[in-house]
Structure formats: structure tokens, C-alpha cells
A and B are shown apart, each in its own frame.
Chain A
Amino acid sequence: MHIGPGFLSPPVWASTAALSGAALAGSLVAANRRLEDRRVILMGVMGAFVFAAQMVNFPVLPGTSGHLGGGFLLGVLLGAPLAIVVMASILVVQALVFQDGGIEALGANILVMGILPALVGAAVRSLWRKRPGVLGDVVTFLGGVAAVLLGATSVILLLWASGSLPGSVSLWQAIAVMDVVHLLIGAVEGAASVAVVRFVLRTRPDAVFAGLPGGMEALSA
């Protein structure tokens, strides 16, 4: 879902870059407060995994593929600040080394694939801390779908604000076309997120909720 070079107008890419830059700076400050080694390790391997998983495009509709975003999953496992740091790192590497996404669109891509889904993931994270189990699975799945749709809709809004949608198409039509495809991609994102969250919570609950009060009690249920 990377926005390529030339699709955003200067006001749009500049304002999203400023917003994402501020969010990234705030995330680094927030993460700095309490960062244990085990969370650094988890953050590193999850970043490598999300980068790799993004390379695996799966077919969704004829002539269309999708790939995981990962921002939602990271939000659940790491919380919003670290998830934003991880997604920003991945998107910078993708843009600079692999020409995936325009360099001027980096802030916008960090917003739609990093910040927004990470915030949805962080909301679901608090549920896992309080009440893990089947409810957690269901909410994680739905959260994954919602995070993808939120990002997809935002991309269309940014293209629209940039004047990059043709005049013959209304904003609502464009959002509908985008969101139908991303509903399917979101279902895969949601299911994959459930599987990965379950696996990591089973193997390293201490790293997921390290240093957070109430984390371990929540997992004993």
C-alpha cells in the first residue's frame, strides 16, 4: 500500500511528513522512558519479520494482490510508541534501498501504514492485558481489519487532497473501490495478526508486557 513518487501534492506530503516526524519524535521520547533489553530484542525481530512478511504478496481478487502491513500487529505486541519506531524504520529502508514508496511520500506512508494502524493495535493491546482469550482473538481480528481499512481510506483522502484522483470519480466512489479490496486484505491481516499475537504471547509474554504493571496477572487467566 506504499504511496509512490509523484502522487502527493507538496502541501500534502509536507504536512504528513511534519505530522509523522512529530509522532516519531514523540514515540522515541516515550519509548526512552522504560525500555528493557527483552523488549528491544522483540522489537528487532518483529521488525525483521514484518519487513519480510511485507514481501509476500498474496492474491485477493483477479489481477490484484495484497500484503500485510504489520503496523497493527506491532501495536498489539509492542504498544504504539515502539510500533511507530519499527514501522518508520521499515518504511525508510523500503523507500531508500528498495524504491518502495516515494521518498517525499515517506511521512504519508509512515502515517497510513505505521501510526494509524499502530494506534488501533495499541487499543487492542490493552484488552489483551486485561482479558486474554477468545475475546482477544475476535477483537484482534476485527482490529486488524479496521486498521487496514483506516489506512486504505486515509490513502484515498491524501490522493484526493493532492488532486490525484480523476475528476470523473467522486471521493466516495474512490473510497468504495479502495475499501472493498482492502476489506479482503484486512481479513488476511486480521487472521495473521491473531496467529502471530497468540504465538508471541505464548512464548514471550514477559517481553510483550515487560515492565508494565498487571501484565503477567492478565496472562494467567
Chain B
Amino acid sequence: MTTADRNTLLVGLAVALVVGGAVSYFASAEPDGLEKTQADLGADEARHGGVEAPPVAFDEYRLTWLGEGFWANAAAGVVGSLLVLGILLGVGRILGRRRAAEKPA
């Protein structure tokens, strides 16, 4: 990894953690555009059988055993951001490795 790549990783991750871990605590709790539209139109009731993931560790964007406050939200932002980063670096590495393997040695 080059110095520029390392800086990109550190700065980008820092921004993501601050936005997801702290700024998001002050986000609006109002329904989003789709939820509000569904409610306004009278379509706010799910009519088909759907599947929602069980709240194992997180209930919406709150870590369940930290309650409702700042840190429950911060945990969601931090864990979610790191999870996405990890998945993408893993996928990228697999794709990159296949490319490297195709190159003549």
C-alpha cells in the first residue's frame, strides 16, 4: 500500500466514523421521504408477507444492550462502517488476486 493509499484509508475512515458514529446522533427522527409518502397515500400497511432480519445485536441503528442514547447509535455507525469497509476490501482483494494470478509470472 502506498503512502497516498494509507492516507486515503485513514482520512476516509475517520470521516466515516465521525459521521456515522457522532453526527448521525443528531439526525432528524422524522420519517424519510418514502415512509412519509407511503403514510400520506395510505400505503403504510405492508400487504404482502415480508421478511425482516431479527434484531440480534442491533435494533434499527441502536446497539440493543446500550439502550437508546448516543453510544448505542455510535456503535451502529462504527460497526456498520467497519463492516462495509471490511467486506469491500475483502471483495476487492479477491478480485485483485484473480487478476494477479492471470498475469504471467
> Which one of A64-72, A119-127, A128-136 is at the B interface?
A64-72
Inter-chain residue pair count (beta carbon < 8 A): 250
Known A6-B47, A34-B99: A204·B80 in contact at CB below 8 Å: no
Q: Could you list 20 further interchain pairs (A-B, Cβ under 8 angstroms) beyond the known A85-B88, A166-B41? A: A7-B46, A35-B96, A40-B89, A44-B92, A47-B87, A49-B15, A52-B21, A55-B80, A57-B27, A58-B28, A86-B84, A89-B88, A93-B87, A97-B56, A97-B58, A97-B80, A98-B58, A99-B59, A152-B34, A178-B33
Give CA–CA (A159, B77) in the complex, Å. Answer: 30
Give CA–CA (A27, B8) in the complex, Å. Answer: 24
Give CA–CA (A61, B39) in the complex, Å. Answer: 14
Contact mask A81-115 → B, CB, 8 Å, 1/0? Answer: 00001100110011111111011110000000000
Chain B residues with CB below 8 A from A85, complex form: 88, 91
Q: Are A47 and B85 in contact (CB under 8 A)?
A: yes
Give CA–CA (A48, B38) in the complex, Å. Answer: 29
Give CA–CA (A100, B4) in the complex, Å. Answer: 34
Chain A residues with CB below 8 A from B32, complex form: 1, 57, 64-67
A163 sits at the interface (CB 8 A): yes
Q: Are B20 and A51 in contact (CB under 8 A)?
A: yes
